[in-house]
Structure 1
Amino acid sequence: MNDSTGDLLHESLLHDTLHTHVRERDGDAGAHLVGLADGALRVARRRQRLTRAGAGVVLAAAVATAWVAVADDGPPRAHVVQPADRGDAAKATKVSLLPVTSSTEGPCTQGDGGYTVDPTATERARCVHTDPAKGMRDIRVASATAEKSTVDGRWQMEATLSPADRIRFVTLTASLASAPPPRNEFAIVIDGKLWGTPAVAQSITGGRFAVVGFYGEDLTRATAHDLAERLDPGR
């Protein structure tokens, strides 16, 4: 029996005893004793409820706290295990959306700031240059998903921008829409790698962009999911 249960039993016995005593007496003194007995019982019950609630709090706290003994057999220290702080916004991979200034055949020259697109069976290597100063650099998307396109069935990664970045994206794409190729394109750069250069026909107001592959190399299911997991702060 714990202390709170013992206190409640004691107060209950006192309550019943006083009520029995009062039944044998009349007058204001008896009514006063009844009031005291009822009040004591209410206090005891409230104390027991708080004790039970406190035990629940202690149990929950024990999940996040581990006790370790010091080496010299001294009193135990509390080693607090912090809850898993996802830190999603800090850990999610950043992406840059940069206006394309040129796209020429052949690999980029080392140190010229361009992005080399490796050759494929149908395309030669290319060098893509961008204008970082006019683009959206090192942003984190609000969400990212991997899915099959409803148009051609190819795997793609679709990212959704935050409300603030959506406004910037509208401005960026609007400035590209009227430019001749390839300056009507923006480069999707993730971890320093070029993932695509979509062409823009008009300003994009939906706040989303997709990676579908580049120069004849489609995304696979694995690469689409891997890219989504790296970008999505909620995963």
Structure 2
Amino acid sequence: MNDSTENLLHETLLHDTLHTHVREHDGDAGPHLVGLADGALRVARRRQRLARAGAGVALAAAVATAWVAVADDGPPRAHVVQPAEGSDTPKAATVSLLPVTSSTEQACTQADGGYAVGATANHPAMCIHANPAGGMSNVRVSSAKAQKGDIDGSWQVEVTLTPTDRTRFAAFTGSLVSAPPPRNEFAIVVDGKLRGAPAVAASLTGGRFLIVGVYSGDLTSAQAHDLAQRLDPAR
């Protein structure tokens, strides 16, 4: 195991440990511990990619996470130095929330134009169609965070929309309530990939939704944190 892999494993363990601590001990320092863990994990991942590409340590240092004070009497906050132009940092994800038009228990064909869901040990293959002209495209996200669900402990991403899109989201989900299944569902599409298709029982006015995967339990810890990083405009 090389140094970059060992660093990544170490930072991942630190990240998950701090998240668990914050969930169990709600305090003023919680957000700062989470920020430190998230920043350290991102730095470790970038260092691993740079090591594989044969890049030097100097570029890795350019994306190091630094701690700065907000004010003399204020708590510290995490500040991530932006990488130089031309780095391998991924661009922000594109999000669409589209009304589901049909859902069938069979694999999609090439001409279907639907979203293919592979079969698992507990679920059959699915082909889900959504209306690309309906719903919300270019959704604006205010924040996103990876967390474990309270019910089954599976990983999920909580997404919070900007105030403008919260209003649109409430109207959109409200229009699905009276539709029969599966047209009471909306497809969560991130970078062209289906990430979930939750059903709506009432208009969602809080401006939040969860990404759990097409089936609950689909996301691993690494996948949930990577997705949250892509969605959160502050990261």
Q: TM-score under structure 2 normalisation?
A: 0.60
**Hey, what does 2:133 align to over in structure 1?**
133
Give the superposed CA RMSD: 2.1
Name the CA shift for 1:175/1:234 in 2 (closer, same or farther; >3 Å).
same
Matches of 1:145 and 1:217 in 2, distance apart? 16
| CA drift at 1:132 | 1.7
Q: What SS does structure 2 have at the residue aligned with 1:169?
A: helix
Matches of 1:93 and 1:210 in 2, distance apart? 16
| CA drift at 1:212 | 1.2
Name the CA shift for 1:85/1:140 in 2 (closer, same or farther; >3 Å).
farther
Letter in 1 for 2:95: V
Contact preservation (8 Å) 2:154, 2:217: no
**Hey, what does 2:151 align to over in structure 1?**
151
Letter in 1 for 2:166: R
Letter in 2 for 1:212: V
Alignment of 1:54-73 (within 5 A): none
Letter in 1 for 2:207: G
Q: What SS does structure 2 have at the residue aligned with 1:172?
A: helix
Name the CA shift for 1:139/1:216 in 2 (closer, same or farther; >3 Å).
closer
Q: TM-score under structure 1 normalisation?
A: 0.60
Alignment of 1:201-216 (within 5 A): 201-215=201-215
**Hey, what does 1:181 align to over in structure 2?**
181
Contact preservation (8 Å) 1:92, 1:140: no
Letter in 2 for 1:163: P
Contact preservation (8 Å) 1:107, 1:126: yes
Deviations 1:178-207 (A, max 9, x none): 111100000001111111100000000010
Q: What SS does structure 2 have at the residue aligned with 1:233?
A: coil
* Structure with greater proportional helix content: 1
Alignment coverage as a number of residue pairs: 151
Contact preservation (8 Å) 2:154, 2:216: no
**Hey, what does 2:231 align to over in structure 1?**
231
Letter in 2 for 1:201: A
Matches of 1:146 and 1:198 in 2, distance apart? 18
Letter in 1 for 2:170: V
Structure 1 residue runs of 5 or longer lacking an equivalent are 1-82
Name the CA shift for 1:215/1:155 in 2 (closer, same or farther; >3 Å).
closer
Runs of 4+ in 1 over 4 A off after TM superposition: 83-87
Letter in 2 for 1:172: F
Contact preservation (8 Å) 1:91, 1:233: no
Matches of 1:160 and 1:86 in 2, distance apart? 28
Contact preservation (8 Å) 1:143, 1:160: yes
Name the CA shift for 1:135/1:86 in 2 (closer, same or farther; >3 Å).
farther
**Hey, what does 2:116 align to over in structure 1?**
116
Letter in 1 for 2:127: C
Q: In terms of mean alpha carbon deviation, does 105-114 or 203-212 score higher? A: 105-114
**Hey, what does 1:104 align to over in structure 2?**
104
**Hey, what does 1:161 align to over in structure 2?**
161
Percent identical: 63
Matches of 2:154 and 2:148 in 1, distance apart? 5
| CA drift at 1:84 | 4.4
Contact preservation (8 Å) 1:185, 1:197: yes
Contact preservation (8 Å) 1:140, 1:231: no
Contact preservation (8 Å) 2:155, 2:217: no
| CA drift at 1:91 | 3.4
* Structure number with bigger Rg: 1
